[in-house]
Amino acid sequence: MAEFLVLGAGMVGASSALALQARGHNVVLVDQQQAGCETSYGNAGVIQAEAVEPYAIPRDFKTLSQFALGLNNDVHWRLSGLTSMLPMLWSYFNHSQKRKHQRISQTYSQLIARSTMDHQKLIEASNSPALMTKKGFSILYRDEKGFESGVIEANHLHQEYGVSSNVFSGQQYCEQEPALLSAPTGVVHFTDSWSCSSPGDLTKAYCRLFVERGGRFCQGNANSLKELNNGWAIETEDGTVQAEQVVVALGPWSPEFLKTFGYDIPMIYKRGYHAHFVSSEPLNRPFLDASNGFVASSMKDGIRLTTGASLVKRNAPIETSQLDHASRALAELLPIEERVKEPQWFGTRPCMPDMLPVVGQAPKHKNMWFHFGHGHQGFTLGPTTSELFAELVEGRSNSLLEALSPTRF
């Protein structure tokens, strides 16, 4: 019998397995697919060292009106999606109040501050440096007012948290990024963020490292998990696997899965899409087009365009309006050619109403642990919260872990 089952082999699950393994635990990692095939595959691939404040809901009437009228490509919504998540969205709105958001950011920034350091250990150990670029992350502004606000925000992040950035006029930035066809109004370049040419491959590399170090990976459906008198059992392609303890690292699937065990976890589901485009010239670093709500990154499959948030029901059909708008805007900036032929991809960002991940022991089960709810930053924070989680398993705690505890719900 293993000591731990870790359910979910995305960035958070694979990192959890490695952190437990490094402390001498016998771990089995389980996923219904191979590692890194869901949200950890399809994201923008940025380890966002600048993202020290989590994404809050804007509270000004102008921005909310733009969202409501569909005038802003950052957010797409459907009434069925809003109504299904209304209590969670209302809580999210309340937590976005300035003073509350400042308190939350004090916790969140401590996690982000460790992100590149915690990734670096695993990048080196998994022989993955070739996947990484350490040239920062930029925000491009197409209008003067937006650029001025971006500079003010960058100064705030530097003064409050020490986040490093450079400010360029659009023409100056074109010298740094020759792929751009036209100059934006201005650019804020955050220097300490990293990017990955294939986030799915990096997640797979972490999983391979786990196996090379003696861990076991099995394919199986988390819904087959059963509680035993002395632990847990799950059905896999390799047969029944038993363990003393279980870690739920299923990202956006966690709340639905946990209903079976008596938990009602509030979560906001932000769907995002991506597409790849052939381009004659790669980007030096990823950028966010602030006016059109997308991130563009150079990936092994071409330029990846990643959209903003779509607030729809989990089973809602594919809608490409955000992606279509972003594709047209991308063509104004980069020499993209045809779109790469591939299945339409979308994933879901698992966002908690208070914008903090859930890390800790399940309130009703002493041998169950929660590790999910990283919102937009599961790829960034997976190794960091996994290190904290492994310390908690060993009986250590601190104010940071207390803020992430499942008991807050």
Q: pLDDT tens for residues 209-235?
A: 999 999 999 999 999 999 999 999 999
Q: Which amino acid belongs to residue 246?
A: V
Q: Which amino acid belongs to residue 377?
A: Q
Reported as a pLDDT band with limits 50, 70 and 90, residue 66 is: very high
Predicted model pTM: 0.97
**Could you read off the pLDDT of 326-380 as tens digits, one per residue?**
999 999 999 999 999 999 999 999 999 999 999 999 999 999 999 999 999 999 9
Q: Which amino acid belongs to residue 101?
A: H
Q: Degrees (nearest 5) of the Cα angle 24, 27, 29?
A: 145
What is the C-alpha separation between 289 and 296, in angstroms, rounded? 8
Helix or strand holding residue 62 (H, E): helix 61-69
Q: 3-state class of 408 per DSSP?
A: helix
Statement: residue 116 has pLDDT above 90: yes
Reported as a pLDDT band with limits 50, 70 and 90, residue 202 is: very high
Q: What is the pLDDT of residue 138?
A: 98
**Could you read off the pLDDT of 377-399 as tens digits, one per residue?**
999 999 999 999 999 999 998 99
Q: Looking at residues 148-169, what average pLDDT do you find?
A: 98
Reported as a pLDDT band with limits 50, 70 and 90, residue 277 is: very high
Q: Which two tokens stand for residue 146?
A: 């937006």
Question: Could you tell me which of 10, 24, 22, 109 has the C-alpha nearest to residue 371?
Answer: 10
Reported as a pLDDT band with limits 50, 70 and 90, residue 117 is: very high
Do residues 45 and 379 lie in contact, with contact meaning Cβ atoms separated by under 8 Å?
Answer: yes
To the nearest 10 degrees (0 to 180), the angle between helices 98-125 and 199-212 is: 60
Class of residue 395 by CB neighbours under 10 A (exposed 0-12, middle 13-18, buried 19+):
exposed
Statement: residue 1 has pLDDT above 90: no
Sketch out the chain's domains with CATH numbers: 1-48+197-265+356-409 (3.50.50.60)
**What does pLDDT average to over the chain?**
97
Number of H-type helices and E-type strands within the chain: 13, 22
Q: Which two tokens stand for residue 102?
A: 């400042």
Q: What percent of the chain has pLDDT over 90?
A: 98
Helix or strand holding residue 274 (H, E): strand 268-279
To the nearest 10 degrees (0 to 180), the angle between helices 98-125 and 86-95 is: 100
Helix or strand holding residue 333 (H, E): helix 321-333
Q: What percent of the chain has pLDDT over 70?
A: 100
Do residues 347 and 272 lie in contact, with contact meaning Cβ atoms separated by under 8 Å?
Answer: yes
Statement: residue 237 has pLDDT above 90: yes
Q: Looking at residues 154-173, what average pLDDT do you find?
A: 98
What is the C-alpha separation between 169 and 187, in angstroms, rounded? 6
DSSP letter assigned to residue 220:
B
Q: What is the pLDDT of residue 295?
A: 98
Q: What is the pLDDT of residue 92?
A: 98
Q: Which two tokens stand for residue 381?
A: 């924070």
Q: What is the pLDDT of residue 164?
A: 98
Statement: residue 2 has pLDDT above 90: no
Q: Looking at residues 136-162, what average pLDDT do you find?
A: 98
Output the CA–CA distances (angstroms, integers) from residue 303 to 111, 213, 230, 299, in the order listed: 29, 34, 50, 6
Q: Which two tokens stand for residue 47?
A: 């380890």
Q: Greatest CA separation found in the chain? A: 67
Q: What is the pLDDT of residue 310?
A: 97
Question: Could you tell me which of 353, 326, 357, 350 has the C-alpha nearest to residue 270?
Answer: 350
